[in-house]
Amino acid sequence: ILNNLKNHYVTSFCWCIFLHSFLFLLVTMSDWKDPDNVPDPQINGESYRNPTEVKMSQIVLPCHANHCGELSVGQLLKWMDSTACLSAERHAGCSCITASVDDIHFEHTIGVGKVVNIIAKVNRAFTSSMEVGILVTCEDLYTDKQWKVCHAFATFVARRTEAGKVQLKQVMPHTQMEQMEYSLAAERRRMRLIHAEIITDLLSKCQEYEDAVPAERTRVESVELVLPPHANHQVSTFGGQIMAWMENVATIAACRLCNAHPTLRTIDMFHFRGPSHIGDRLVLKAIVNNAFKHSMEVGVCAEAYQGGEPLRHINSAFMTFEVLDSDRKPRTLPRIRPEPVDGKRRYQEAVARKKIRLDRKYIMSCKQTQVPLSVPWDQSNQMYLSYNNVSALKLMDARNNWVLTSEKNKVRLYTSEENQMLCFKVEMHVSVPAEQTFHLLSDLRRRKEWDQHYEECELINQADEEDTLYRVTTPSASKWGKGMEFILLASRRKPCDARDPYLIALRSVTLPTHPPTEDYTRGEVLCAGFTIWEESSSVTKITYYNQATPGVLPYISTDIAGLSSSFYSAFSACSHFLEANKDSLVALPLSTLQLDSTTTASTQEE
């Protein structure tokens, strides 16, 4: 009788936790904090302010406005660049120049009489470059209301001094938000470096349309003489001024297609290729690359010359415009007929960039309440799914509200409830080098050697060295239920420096080649994975994270309630597995083994 009562109590308790957390999932699925609602952090009883933070407030005057009485985007870019540059120089202690500005999406326009508030601070410094986060809000002085306009990330490079190349000091994050941005900055840097490769991969998949308006009709070319008022304190042309001139010619090109005044919605990355100075003639060129149903992409570039010297490429960007009707809704636009060769290439690239923008908006910009747990995976959105996967794990790792639930055999179980979302983590130490631990845990096919919840694991696709797709099956959590099936994206990251961990991030995706089957219940993983910290050459701290979902809860609810110790058994087995294989070559990545065998073969031939 006592055993039956105990089993009934455990089953009822599991279902209570399951239903409770499922209701949480329906209410909200977002871990992101609204920066406007986060109170000022306290350090040693005093209000803390980031030492690199710079604030600028400007009232919008008629001289700053366009034909619609709204703040010109070019003027806003000037203010943003100035604020970010001052923040970068405050950290570097020397002059800095704008290297690039990531994609910017303008959520609202700003009218005359409103106040623009800009906050910039350095998120992370690398060797000689640093990422600066920029937040722009608008304030209505009559109602005291504020709203977000845009959020951008700019990369600045410290200028060489007489002593040589500048070695930047590291940023020391003090708050949870700063730690989060510090960690994500490395992932954003990785995306910048491979962005061009994604465009190249997509070109062959672009479809052409028959269009009526010749693209040459929209071509604009203008020249500007760089005068002292256009220069910054380093006697170089102010980056914000160049961006403002580029926005001006891009707007004219867009007007020529639609014969109306367009509204700038998005700017793809500005990338500065070289400096410009006082006395330069700056040649600005713009053309509509492609027009879609409700938007158009305008390509714009800036080149400089002095005297009879050849043109120097300074900057290039891609701007997306819409034309709004009287109800502020996007109008339908005419199609573009590209010119041969270069025009056709620009036309195809515009389609590829639009695909990337849609993927990015769907995967990264939307809150998790707006998208399903699993999102479709394909080669074109791999970069953004991988970014989302790793970023979600880094956000969970940055939390500071973990509560120790229980501890057994030096394995600690923590829980955290934030935004009505239940998460848990398991922490332990092993006497195995961090890199070896990383390679052993990266291959999910070996997880069934220590985790009883893994029944089978099939490698579906090795997308690249960092991203792999797996199909995982698990036994049923009850006697009468079906087993569960997960399609998982595993994203691996090695540390950028000693202050970063090794990462193995897991999340569910959908694949047309692997639809749900009748034999298994399709489960979902929103965020899970390992962080692996090197504490010494032979001691490693492993932390496993999981954001509870209905598919995961039945396996862990009794452990969280203290009614079972299966997780402790699993991670004790994991510790034994790692220590038994710490000298195994199987742990090395496949590419490393191939490289070693190739090197050996070539040595033998010599």
Specify the 3-state DSSP secondary structure of 55.
strand
Q: Residue 343 and residue 355: Cα distance in Å, rounded?
A: 19
- Domains annotated on the chain, with CATH: 49-161+174-180 (3.10.129.10), 212-368 (3.10.129.10), 371-581 (3.30.530.20)
Q: Residue 342 and residue 358: Cα distance in Å, rounded?
A: 24
Q: With CA atoms as reference, report the closest residue to 514 among 564, 459, 556, 466.
A: 459
Q: CB-based contacts of 350: which residues, under 8 Å, 6+ apart?
A: 289, 290, 297, 299, 318
Q: Across 9-18, 214-223, 347-356, which has the greatest mean pLDDT?
A: 214-223
Q: Residue 337 and residue 287: Cα distance in Å, rounded?
A: 12
Instruction: Count CB-CB contacts under 10 A for residue 470.
Output: 19
Q: Residue 491 and residue 295: Cα distance in Å, rounded?
A: 34
Give φ, ψ of 52 to 5 degrees: -95, 0
Q: Residue 308 and residue 545: Cα distance in Å, rounded?
A: 62
Q: Encoding tokens for residue 55? A: 């604030």
Contact present, 492 and 589 (Cβ < 8 Å): no
Write down how long the chain is: 606
Q: What Å distances lie between residue 274 and 117, 213, 317, 462, CA to CA?
A: 30, 34, 14, 38
pLDDT at 180: 84
Helix or strand holding residue 184 (H, E):
helix 176-202
Give 353-357 contacts, CB < 8 A, sequence gap 24+: 353/199, 353/268, 353/297, 353/318, 354/290, 354/292, 354/295, 354/297, 355/202, 355/380, 356/198, 356/199, 356/202, 356/380, 356/381, 356/384, 357/103, 357/266, 357/268, 357/320
pLDDT at 450: 92
Which letter does DSSP use for residue 446 in this model? G
Contact present, 91 and 130 (Cβ < 8 Å): yes
Please state the rounded mean pLDDT for residues 463-469.
Answer: 91
Enumerate the β-bridge partners of residue 486.
Answer: 472
Residue with tokens 């910054």: 232
Which letter does DSSP use for residue 60 in this model? P
Q: With CA atoms as reference, report the closest residue to 473 among 482, 463, 465, 462.
A: 482
Instruction: Count CB-CB contacts under 10 A for residue 418.
Output: 13
Specify the 3-state DSSP secondary structure of 166.
coil
Question: What band does 183 get if pLDDT is binned at 50, 70 and 90?
Answer: confident
Q: CB-based contacts of 375: which residues, under 8 Å, 6+ apart?
A: 362, 363, 381, 385, 509, 510
Q: With CA atoms as reference, report the closest residue to 84 among 150, 136, 35, 132.
A: 132
Q: Across 60-74, 207-221, 329-343, which has the greatest mean pLDDT?
A: 60-74
* Per-residue model confidence as pLDDT tens digits over 576-597: 999 999 888 754 444 443 434 3
Q: What does the H/E/C string look like for 72-130?
A: CHHHHHHHHHHHHHHHHHHHHCCCEEEEEECCEECCCCCECCCEEEEEEEEEEECCCEE
Give φ, ψ of 546 to 5 degrees: -155, 130
Contact present, 52 and 91 (Cβ < 8 Å): yes
Distance of CA 555 to the CA centre of its chain: 30
Average pLDDT value for the chain: 81
Please state the rounded mean pLDDT for residues 526-539.
Answer: 92
Contact present, 477 and 497 (Cβ < 8 Å): no
Specify the 3-state DSSP secondary structure of 284.
strand
Question: What band does 1 get if pLDDT is binned at 50, 70 and 90?
Answer: very low
User: Which residue type is seen at 368?
Assistant: Q
pLDDT at 205: 46
* Per-residue model confidence as pLDDT tens digits over 140-172: 999 989 999 999 999 999 987 777 778 899 999
User: Which residue type is seen at 449?
Assistant: E
Tell me what percent of the residues of the chain surpass a pLDDT of 70: 79
